[in-house]
Amino acid sequence: MPEPLLKVQGLKTYFFLERGVVKAVDGVDFEMKKGEILGLVGETGCGKSVTALSILRLVQSPPGKIVEGKVIFEGEDLLKKSNEEMRKIRGTKISMIFQDPHTSLDPVFTIGYQIAEPIALHQVIEQHLMRAEEVPGKVMEMLKLVRIPDPEHRVVEYPHQFSGGMKQRAMIAMMISCNPSLLIADEPTTAVDVTIQAQILDLMRDLRQKLGTSVLLITHNLGVVAEMCDRLAVMYAGNIVEQADLKTLFEDPKHPYTSALLAAVPKVGTKKMELETIPGMVPSLITPPPGCKFHPRCPHAMDICRKEFPQMIEIDKGRLVRCHLYGGGSKK
């Protein structure tokens, strides 16, 4: 098996607040292969975004702090890098697309300027891969790549003159302009409407094909996941509770949380009038329930679930689940 592109091991990111310590990410492990699209799914507040920010070391500190773990990217632990080394990795090797395209572009600069910025910074000034004269051409090339119509005129426009979908595409252009090997997309389609959503997803798939970029797609939208991802990791209250490839997970969810999540997706063509919900509330991350964090909401909760935190078990190749239901004899 080839060396994975990204390997996150035992990552713990806590926020130290006056009310207590918020264990936003409490021991997350996963791997990503080159060119793979991994979906990270879970409810709001389960630690998806913090996981992403931790990989780039962009968690606000204070109050946030990565307390433990390793983020091994291309064979090197990012958490051991100096700030300056880390800064050079951002934008060139790992980039991130944010949720809301309306606020993630600087309103006082033109789109062209903002796309030129990372190219000039990394490719021209730091790495000397490109000459300054080539920057404008590269900007146009990026705008065409993300299918901005009429790029010659659009390049000198400001973000407020762009529609949401175009802003998100401009954002993508900015983030992939230095050919990163990993693109983290934090709910890239939440703030745009459904038709634009399809275009954005299409574009990202296309880019994977053309540039071989791996994508860590963070979302709570299972529809998006079904369309895009090769593999899935389901997160609950700061832990990954299940990992499998897309088809297996959708057809045969093992963890009760995953099953409940899938059941909550309304299905077209069924007569059922009521929407399926997961009973209970997302647990507090300051004082999570003892044992399995899902047990208060779990229909299959057993005695052991209240006492012992379940370990990740590999029940099949590449099929991981963190649940006592599959414990005991099936441990391999």
Per CB under 8 A, the segment of 13-21, 112-120, 207-215, 278-286 that binds another protein is 112-120
| 298-305 long-range Cβ contacts below 8 angstroms, 24+ apart | 298/256, 298/257, 299/256, 299/260, 300/256, 300/325
Give me the 25-64 binding string for another protein, x by CB under 8 A, dash otherwise. Answer: -------------------------------x-x---x--
Give the residue with the Cβ less far from another protein, 78 or 232: 78
Element (DSSP H or E) covering residue 316: strand 313-316
At its nearest, how many Å lie between another protein and the CB of residue 163? 15
Q: Work out whether 81 is an interface residue with another protein (CB under 8 A).
A: no
Give the residue with the Cβ less far from another protein, 42 or 118: 118
Binding test (CB under 8 A) with another protein, winner from 98, 162, 236, 257: 98
Binding test (CB under 8 A) with another protein, winner from 68, 117, 227, 230: 117
Kindly determine how many residues on this chain lie close enough to bind another protein according to the rule CB under 8 A: 44
Q: Work out whether 92 is an interface residue with another protein (CB under 8 A).
A: yes
At its nearest, how many Å lie between another protein and the CB of residue 254? 34
> From the CB of residue 326, how many other CB atoms can be counted at a distance below 10 Å?
17
DSSP assignment letter at 221 = -
Dihedral sign computed on CA atoms, order 271, 272, 274, 278: negative
Q: Work out whether 116 is an interface residue with another protein (CB under 8 A).
A: yes
Give the residue with the Cβ less far from another protein, 92 or 258: 92
For the chain, helix (H) and strand (E) counts, in that order, are 11, 12
- How is 254-277 classified by DSSP, letter by letter? -SHHHHHHHHTS--TT----SPP-
At its nearest, how many Å lie between another protein and the CB of residue 247? 32
Q: Work out whether 250 is an interface residue with another protein (CB under 8 A).
A: no
Contact positions with another protein (CB under 8 A) in 128-187: 131-133, 135-136, 155-156, 158, 160, 171, 174-175
Cα–Cα distance, 241 to 201 (Å, whole number): 26
Q: Work out whether 91 is an interface residue with another protein (CB under 8 A).
A: yes
CB-CB contact of 288 with 237 (8 Å): yes
Cα–Cα distance, 16 to 6 (Å, whole number): 27
What is the b/e burial string over 278-310, where b = at least 16 CB atoms within 10 angstroms of the residue's CB?
beeeebebeebeebbbbbebbeebeeebeeeeb
At its nearest, how many Å lie between another protein and the CB of residue 218? 14
Q: How much of the chain is helix, strand and coil, in % rounded to 5?
A: 35, 25, 40
At residue 235, the 3 state secondary structure works out as: strand
At its nearest, how many Å lie between another protein and the CB of residue 204? 16
Residues that bind another protein (CB under 8 A): 56, 58, 62, 87-92, 95-96, 98-100, 103-110, 112-113, 116-118, 120-122, 124-125, 131-133, 135-136, 155-156, 158, 160, 171, 174-175
